[in-house]
Amino acid sequence: MSASKLHYFFALFLTVLCNHLFAGELDQAKAYDKHYPEIKYQDLRKSIDAGEVFIIDVNSEQTYKQGHLPTAVSMVDEKKLEERMPFNKDYPIVVYCGGPQCTAWYKGADFAAARGYNSIRHYKGGLKDWKAQGERLSTTAN
């Protein structure tokens, strides 16, 4: 077999492999989006103002310290997070990360679900959308 045919088959193999892997990521994203519905900015803002939501920030410790949503608790220290979570397993939980392309929120949703919480949503816009809405980030540790 000539070198050009080998290159062609190798490129074809890589294309098929990448398509398969990307399809798996899309399936995972759809499953998470279905199981943990998105909450929009306006609804999240109302819930925060009413004191009716527990927010989990899944960003890095450095990002959390630089700024996070009001009342959000960092997931960096899982033991501390678990101690702070509401007693009522039906209490609304919102998880978020940096922005629409970030999927780190999956970890926060899984964390809450594994502890029996069943009203879990994700704020897909994350920090990026919060700031775009003209909101300030909090630097107070919660």
- pLDDT, one tens digit per residue, over 45-73 is 999 999 999 999 999 999 999 999 999 99
Structurally, how many domains does the chain consist of? 2
Is the same domain home to 87 and 21? no
Asked if 138 and 68 count as a contact pair (C-beta separation under 8 A), the reply is yes
Report the SS3 class of residue 62: helix
Q: Residue 22 — pLDDT band, cuts 50, 70, 90?
A: very low
Is the same domain home to 23 and 93? no
The boundaries of the domain holding residue 85 are 36-132
Asked, for residue 138, whether it belongs to a domain, the answer is no
- Chain segment 98-127, per-residue pLDDT in tens: 999 999 999 999 999 999 999 999 999 999
**Cα–Cα distances in Å, from 64 out to 24, 58, 88?**
30, 8, 26
Angle at 83 between CA 77 and CA 73, to 5 degrees: 55
Asked, for residue 140, whether it belongs to a domain, the answer is no
b/e code 97-129 from CB counts within 10 Å (16+ = b): bbeeebebbbebbebbeeeebebbbbbbbbbbb
Is the same domain home to 67 and 19? no
